Every structure is written in structure tokens, then in C-alpha cells.
Structure 1
Amino acid sequence: MSYVLEHLGNNLWRGRFTSFDEKICQHGFAGRLGGVSSEPYKSLNLGLHVGDNPEDVWQNRQIYCQSLGLPAARLVTPEQIHGDRIVRVTEEDAGRGAKEYADAIAGTDALITDVPNLPLFLCFADCTPVVFLDPEKRAIGIAHAGWKGTVAGIAAKTVARMTAEFGCKPADIIAGIGPAIGPCCYEVGAEVAAKFREAFPEDSEAVIKSDNGRLHVNLWEANRRQLLQAGLKRDNIEMADTCTACEHQWYFSYRADGGRTGRMAAIIALKGD
């Protein structure tokens, strides 16, 4: 079990977790290379909401989805607002937000489905992407866990929602915590640190570190511990351990790129019979 970065050709790259059975689902974490967008979104910007040319973004989405063998026109993506709303998507949602941001599922930060060939697609640039697979029930999920979503428990709530909607058992669910800003670079103020202490009272020392008076939060570990509390097996949680700020030559990073940049995407889709 590990996180690997694969070259797909034409300077396109995919991060993936080896524990996710590719006979059941396809998934990936996009890098920032191999697209058509111009600075400051160069080059594989997959976000429609950052000021890039929408035609370039749509071309980037087609390029990346084609490299994974997924239908870009069926992408389902939400308007991410750093909340904890989770939506179960169905065949009727196919294509929502794929070409136009106004058509995305409003006010939502996690998606779940059991419909094959329906790619779930979220955008990131330092926040934590979490993907889920239940190989027994053949159900998937994806969550946007920035600091607000992490404090709100969106990863654990996604597990609970998959349990309620599809009859999943948390012990069967595999989760992958993708590339995101790491504890090395994620410095926060006292107010944010206090929210993490409140949300993780028993784990605050593992989640928050003080270095010469500077406070750093470990979003990766916060989400891992949250998933353990939700009932996932320790061996079923994979972590990329990849900092988007340290490695922003490969990934978009809001902090490292000065606040104006593109977005990478996490994507997951069930395969059909």
C-alpha cells in the first residue's frame, strides 16, 4: 500500500493509491503540468472558479479525463464552500459543473455515489482531498477537507453518509488522504489552532505543533485520526504524505503561489460491469 506518482504521457501525471482496486474504480490526483492554461494558472488548471478562461479549463478537463479513460462530459462537481454538506449523486446529476461553474451542485463539499461511470470531481490547492471506496458495496465518495471542513468532521461525516445511504460498514471502507499542504508549511494563528484543539481534544498534541512560538496544523493526521474514530481500519487508510506547498512545481498551492493560482483535482469513478 502506497501513494505513487505516474507519468501518463504528454507531461500529464497522476497520483494514486495502490490499495484502490482498479478493477472496481478509477481515481487520481492531478498535477499542475500538461495543460493549456496560461499564467498564473499554468498549465493544467482544472478549476472553473479562479478566473481562468473557461474554454481552457474545459480543454484541461477533457485532456485529464481522457488520460484516465473517464468521460469528461459526465463529471459531477460541486460549488465548494468549506462546509460539511454531503450530496448523494445519481445518474440525473451527470455533467453537473463539468463545463459551467454555475451548474455545479451548490454549497457542497463532499459527494458520494454507487452509480458506475459517474466521475466525482473536486478541486484543491492546499486543502486536503479525501477519497473513499467500499469494495463490498461498490460505493465511492470524495471530500474537500480544508481546515474548516476538517474541524467540521467532513471526512467522518462522509463515512457516516455512505453507511446510511449504501449500507457500508466503516471497517470495509478504504480511504486515501491525498496531496495537501503539510505540517511543515501550514502555519496558523491562535484562533484556528484553538478550533482544532476543540475538535480534537484527545489528539491535539499530534495535530498541532508549536515551533518557536509558531503554530502548525497537520491536516493529514487530523483527517487520519478522524477516520479511525469513524471506524475505519488503520490499514485501510492511506496517506500521500505529499506537501503541495513544498512541491508546488508539481501541484498547485494557494500559499506557495501567492494566492492566485490554478486548482488540481481529485477524481474517482466506479467502473461499470
Structure 2
Amino acid sequence: MNNAEPFVAPASAPVEERPYLLHLAGWEAAFPGLSAGFTSRWGGVSGSPFGTLNCGLHVRDVAADVVTNRRRIAEALEQPFEAFTYAEQVHSADVAVIGSALKGAGRDARETAVQDRDGFVTNEKGIFLCTQYADCVPLFFYDPEHEAVGLAHAGWKGTVLNIAMSTISLMTHTFGSRPANIRAAIGPSIGQCCYEVDGTVASRVYEALASMQASETAVQTVITAQPNGKYMLSLQALNQKFMEQAGILSSHIEVTQLCTSCRTDLFFSHRKEGGATGRMIAWIGMRA
């Protein structure tokens, strides 16, 4: 695993006129034509408390402002707005294959989004996959051998349901991807420093760790008990364990050091901001 921060922000400060985007710069440099990254909270037109680059149509923001923000991101990435595909996320482990028939779904209305899915895969160029976040974990996948990409939204429910494995398995069965060749990245999300959970969530996490026969050392990197009866949880570390169990090499997994709760100057955080906040998107696609 590479310990350097994989998500690279622009050197310049955010401005109102354009989206402030963090790119998976190493991937984009290594694989020409690939575009992948994560948005910030800046560079859009949304007002408070969604200021300014809110990409979520479901948070009571002005829908026209959200669509404008999404259009700005497409323009910044120099891709047609019609290429960007969204889902109605439900904290599941269900993943959809996206082809030309679903290209652009949900980009300007929830009703046209891919329903009840939390992940996408595609091997078609010119399709950009998008998932939405305000603390949950974005999981990125790229198979350079078959030029296939995947993207998954992993909250605690999707994580313990192993959406990482669901995405990898779908890439394997649909495109012939070999896990040992897949590159993976874990994006900005709430870190173990800030993510306190109760015993109900912790019990599901311990069950997931037991299912993979994790060592005590591995368990400690994922979850630690606190004197108040709560637990501090690293969804990033748990998703990494699932990726490795699925056959992705540890050297092919890059993990962010950016916590959305610590960095509300840069990101939206549902937990830190009491639920009244916007949504970032993760994106990945291959340029046509």
C-alpha cells in the first residue's frame, strides 16, 4: 500500500467560478484516458447550508442549483454532461453494470437515476460513474488489463455487507477482470479519529472481521472499544481488509488520509454538521 495521499487537490485556493476537485493523480498519470477523483464543497452555486458545490438532489437544496453544480463538474472535467451517471443509493451491497442504455441516468433528476444501487461498473469509454458522499467511503476500482472501472458507496451497512467484494466479483464475472490486476483506492471519508459507533454497529463489524478470520492485530486497526461503551471505527481499514481478501494486492490499494469530519473546511460531513449539509461525488470514467 502506498502511504502518500492519493487524492491531490489544486495548488490554488478554491474560487467561486469553478469546482475545486481532488484527482487520483497517480492513476491519471499512469493510465492515460482515465479520469477519477472526488469533489470538495467549493466552486458551486448552492446557498447555505449547502454551500457551495452540493451534488445531492435529495437534501432539500434548490434542484436547479444542484444540476448547475453537476454541470460545472462535467465542464471542469471536459466531458459532456450526458456522460455522468447517478444512482439512488440505499446503503446496500448491490452493484449495477452500466452500458449505453443507462449512460447519463439520474444526472438531472432522481426519478431517472439507477434505482436501489450503491455501486457501478463499466468497460465502456465515455461513461462516467458517480456516487454521492458526506462521510461514507468511496471505493474506486480500475482494471488496466480489460480497461474496466468500478465505483462503490460504502457506509457502515454497505461495508459489512461487503460491497467491495460485490464490485470486484461483478468486474470479474462481467469483464474477466483478475483481482490481482485490479487497482483500488479508498477515498475521503470519516476517519477512525471521528467515527464513534454504538454496540449494534460494532457487533456487525466484529462479525465481518470474524468471517475473514482477521487477526487480533488486524481487528485493532479496524475497531477499538472506548471507556464510554462506544467504539471508534475505521471503515477505510475494514474495506481494505475486504479488498485484500478478494484478491487485490495490498500494493495495489491506495488509502486516503483525508477525514471529512476533520476537514469541513474542504468537505461536507453529515455527522459533524448535524445532517444539514450537502454531498460530494466520487467519479471515475474512461474518456471517449
Which interval holds the TM-score relative to the shorter structure?
A: over 0.9
1:132-186: per-residue Cα shift (whole Å, max 9, x none)?
1001100000000000000000011101110000000001100110000000000
The aligned counterpart of 1:182 is: 191
Q: Using the alignment, how far apart are the partners of 2:9 and 2:22 within structure 1?
A: 6
- How has the CA–CA distance of structure 1 residues 65 and 263 changed in structure 2, closer, same or farther, with 3 Å as cutoff? same
Q: Using the alignment, how far apart are the partners of 2:259 and 2:120 within structure 1?
A: 24
Asked if the contact 2:7–2:187 (Cα under 8 Å) also holds between the matched residues in 1, the reply is no
Q: Offset of 1:68 from its aligned partner?
A: 1.4
Q: Using the alignment, how far apart are the partners of 1:204 and 1:72 within structure 2?
A: 43
Give yes or no for the alignment of 1:158 onto 2:167: yes
The partner residue of 2:224 within 181, 188, 209 is 209
- How has the CA–CA distance of structure 1 residues 76 and 244 changed in structure 2, closer, same or farther, with 3 Å as cutoff? same
The aligned counterpart of 1:47 is: 56
Give yes or no for the alignment of 1:223 onto 2:239: yes
Give yes or no for the alignment of 1:264 onto 2:271: no
Secondary structure, aligned partner of 1:143 = strand
The partner residue of 2:35 within 23, 26, 31 is 26
Gaps in structure 1 of 5+ consecutive residues: none
Q: Using the alignment, how far apart are the partners of 1:210 and 1:99 within structure 2?
A: 43
Q: Using the alignment, how far apart are the partners of 1:75 and 1:24 within structure 2?
A: 16
The aligned counterpart of 1:82 is: 91
Give yes or no for the alignment of 1:99 onto 2:99: no
Asked if the contact 2:8–2:25 (Cα under 8 Å) also holds between the matched residues in 1, the reply is no
Counterparts of 1:116-127 in structure 2, within 5 Å, are: 116-127=125-136
Q: Offset of 1:22 from its aligned partner?
A: 4.4
Q: Using the alignment, how far apart are the partners of 1:24 and 1:168 within structure 2?
A: 19
Give yes or no for the alignment of 1:114 onto 2:117: no
Asked if the contact 2:135–2:270 (Cα under 8 Å) also holds between the matched residues in 1, the reply is yes
Identity of aligned residues (%): 36
The aligned counterpart of 1:141 is: 150
The aligned counterpart of 1:198 is: 207
Q: Using the alignment, how far apart are the partners of 1:70 and 1:22 within structure 2?
A: 17
Q: Offset of 1:4 from its aligned partner?
A: 3.5
Secondary structure, aligned partner of 1:102 = helix
Give yes or no for the alignment of 1:16 onto 2:19: no
1:42-85: per-residue Cα shift (whole Å, max 9, x none)?
10001111111111001001111211122222211111000011
Give yes or no for the alignment of 1:132 onto 2:147: no
- The residue type equivalent to 2:226 in the other structure is D
- The residue type equivalent to 2:247 in the other structure is G
Asked if the contact 2:36–2:282 (Cα under 8 Å) also holds between the matched residues in 1, the reply is yes
- The residue type equivalent to 2:202 in the other structure is A
Q: Using the alignment, how far apart are the partners of 2:179 and 2:26 within structure 1?
A: 16
- How has the CA–CA distance of structure 1 residues 19 and 232 changed in structure 2, closer, same or farther, with 3 Å as cutoff? farther
1:193-214: per-residue Cα shift (whole Å, max 9, x none)?
0000001122433211123333
The partner residue of 1:4 within 2, 7, 23 is 7
Secondary structure, aligned partner of 2:115 = coil
Asked if the contact 1:110–1:141 (Cα under 8 Å) also holds between the matched residues in 2, the reply is yes
Q: Using the alignment, how far apart are the partners of 1:211 and 1:189 within structure 2?
A: 10
Asked if the contact 1:24–1:138 (Cα under 8 Å) also holds between the matched residues in 2, the reply is no
Gaps in structure 2 of 5+ consecutive residues: none
**Pairwise CA RMSD:** 1.4
Total equivalences in the alignment: 272
Secondary structure, aligned partner of 2:46 = coil
Secondary structure, aligned partner of 1:120 = strand
- TM-score normalised per structure 2: 0.91
Asked if the contact 1:179–1:240 (Cα under 8 Å) also holds between the matched residues in 2, the reply is yes
Query: Mean Cα displacement is larger for which, 250-259 or 21-30?
Result: 21-30
- TM-score normalised per structure 1: 0.96
Secondary structure, aligned partner of 1:111 = strand
1:2-24: per-residue Cα shift (whole Å, max 9, x none)?
41332287453222334413413
Q: Using the alignment, how far apart are the partners of 2:244 and 2:9 within structure 1?
A: 28
